Amino acid sequence: MAATQPFNKQTAYWGVPWEEAYGYPQARRSGNEIYVSGQFNHDEEGNLVAPAPLNADGKPSDFSSMGEQMRVSYDNISKLLALYGATLQDVVEETLYVLDMDAAFAVVGKVRKAAYGTERPQCASNIIGVSRLAQRPQLIEIACKAVIGARNI
């Protein structure tokens, strides 16, 4: 499913099972601000892209797909923002939640610069190491705030 706004123009959804189970939209607009819930490595059908292999304990055993998961997360953010006429250039703050800081730092500069289309993305950025994310094969999740028109300031 593509990102949609089935209930009203203020909220956006993917139509994936975890929205109903958890009870939340993927994005919400308030005035000129757009708050994007944590996005991760799923396609528009809810299938994981480049899932990390899991060990016997159900924990990721290989972090080499961090870059691809990060790229898909930014793609998902871009699709949600587009519903409001915004782009990644309107993002003013982002937070990356990662399972492995070393794996993230190995790819984050290249992936972020490509996603934002510039060598110096103009948004405040935080990166936080966590012990677990929602989907076990998930290595990264990105949440952000955008302000419509920020790219023109």
Domain map (residue ranges) of the chain: 4-147
pLDDT for 87 equals 96
Tell whether domain 4-147 is in CATH 3.30.1330.40: yes
Q: What is the mean pLDDT of the chain?
A: 94
Mean pLDDT of 100-107: 98
Residue 151 has φ and ψ, to the nearest 5°, of: -65, -20
Reported as a pLDDT band with limits 50, 70 and 90, residue 153 is: low
pLDDT at residue 90 tops 80? yes
Report pTM. Answer: 0.94
pLDDT at residue 46 tops 80? yes
